[in-house]
Amino acid sequence: MAEIFVSYKTEDRERVRHLVDALRAAGFDTWWDQDIPPGGGWRETIARQLDSAKLCIVAWSVASAGEGGRFVREEAERAAGRGAYLGVLIDAVMPPFGFAEWQAIDLSAWLGKKSDPLVDHFTHAVRARLANEPAPPRPAAPARRSRRIPGWGVAAAAGASLLLLGGLAAWQMWPTAAPGPASAVSATAFVNDQIDDAQCAWLQISSVTPAGERGEWVALAGIAAAPEALQTSVMRRAIAQSVPLAELDVAEVANSPPETCAEIELLREFRWQGRSRLTIVPPRGQLQRTRFGWSGRFEFETDFARLPARVALLGLDSVGGVEVLVPDLHAFRREHAPLRANGSVAAYEGYFFDDNQGALNVGLILMTATGTIDPALIDSVGDRSDRDFLDQLDRTATEQGWQFELALVRCGFESGERRQC
C-alpha cells in the first residue's frame, strides 16, 4: 500500500497531477485514483488505499470545498478520524466546515512549475508531517530586483474585446530607523492598515503563515502601481515600529498602469470585504494570434446563491477604463447556459483580444447594489473628477449600497510583451 493518498475533485485532476508528480519526484510513495488498474474495484480500492495510507493529502478547491465535493469531504473526514489528514489549498478557498481549524498548505499561487519554491515548501511540510515534526515556515518571496513583475491580462473597451461565452457579452472591452520596543500591533493588522493607505492600489491579504520568532509571513494579492516599492516601504515601516512582519510577498500583485488609478481610487472606497464571490480560473494554454490580435482564454466562477438580487459584471483596463459588461448577472445566467455548474456555482468561459491597442491589465469587477444599477454612471467613473460628479457618485454609492470585488485575468499583454497564461 502507498504511503500517501491524494484526495481531490475530478474537475481538478490536471492541477492535482502536478501535485502528485511533485510528491513522487520527492521520493514519496503516492497513490491517487488514476492508479486504479483497468477492471479494478473502484470503491473497494479507494477505501483500502485511503485506510492504509500514512497520510491523506486533500486538495481543497472551489469544486471540492463546494456543494459537489461530498466524496472529498468524506475521504477527509475518514482520514482525520485517525489523524492522517493534511489539507492543501489549490484555490484561494476556505476549507469546508469542520476543517478550517486545521492549517492548510497554501498552493493556490502555484502554477505547476517544478522550480517554484512553493514545491520545496510543500514536500518539506509533508516530510515533516510524516515524521511528526513541526512544519517548516513558508518561504519568503525571492528577490526580484533584476526583473519587472509581468502585467495582468488585458482587454480594452476601444479596440480590444472580451467575449463571455454561454451566450454573449462583448467588451470592446522611508527612512530606516532602529527598531524600538516590540509592537502590540499584529502583522496582519499592520499590513491591512498599510494597504488601505496605498495609492493606486487594490489589495488584500491572500495568506498568512507563521514564521517562528520572526513573526508572520504575509502574502498580498491584487493590483498596485509599484508592487516592489510598496513591499520595501511596508517592510521598512514594520521594522521601524517593531511589528513582527517576517516578510511581505508581492509576487501575486500585478502592476497597475497609471491610466487606471482614478477608477481604482474611486471604486475601492466601496470594495467588498467578505469572502470572495468571484473567482478567475487561471487558463493554462498559449496565447493565440487571431484577426482580432492576440487572444487568450479564461474562465470565471461565481456562487449565485451568495449574490443579492442586483449584481453586474464590470471590466477595467488602461484604454477603456471602467465599463459595464453585464448589467444583470442573474438575467445573464437565465439566458445563457454555463460552461459548467455545481449547484449554485456556475462557470463561464471568456476570451479577450488585444487588437494591438497596447491596453494593460484587464480586470473583472463584481458589482452589487441594493438599488438599480446605472451603467452610464458606472462608465463615467474615472472620466470626471469635478465636485458635482464626485458628490453624485458618493451619494449614489452610499444610498444604493454599492460594493465592488476585483478579480484579475492573469495572462495577456503589458508594454507590448505577451504573457503566457
Q: Residue 354: its pLDDT value, please?
A: 63
Q: What angle do CA 153, 158, 164 make, to 5 degrees?
A: 55
Q: Residue 286: its pLDDT value, please?
A: 63
Q: Residue 403: its pLDDT value, please?
A: 93
Query: Are the C-beta atoms of residues 23 and 127 closer than 8 Å to each other?
Result: no
Q: Residue 177: its pLDDT value, please?
A: 38
DSSP lists the bridge partners of residue 252 as 221
The owner of cell 454609492 is: 397
Return the half-sphere exposure (C-beta side, CA atoms, 13 A cut-off) of residue 379.
Answer: 14
Q: Residue 247: its pLDDT value, please?
A: 93
Q: Quick one: which of 360, 350, 355 has its CA closest to 413?
A: 360
What are the φ/ψ torsions at residue 58 (nearest 5 degrees)? -105, 120
Spatial CB neighbours of 84, under 8 Å, sequence gap ≥ 6: 53, 54, 55, 56
DSSP state of 47: H
Q: What is the pLDDT along the chain (421 residues), one digit of tens a residue?
A: 789 999 999 888 888 998 999 999 999 999 998 888 766 567 788 888 999 999 999 999 888 988 788 889 999 999 988 889 999 988 877 788 777 667 788 887 777 777 777 888 889 889 988 888 766 665 544 333 222 222 222 332 333 334 443 322 333 333 333 444 555 678 888 998 898 888 888 888 888 888 888 889 999 888 888 888 889 989 999 999 999 999 999 887 877 777 888 888 888 889 887 778 888 776 555 667 777 666 777 788 898 988 999 999 998 877 778 888 889 999 999 998 998 998 999 998 876 666 666 666 567 899 999 988 988 899 889 888 888 988 998 999 999 999 999 886 544 454 444 554 3
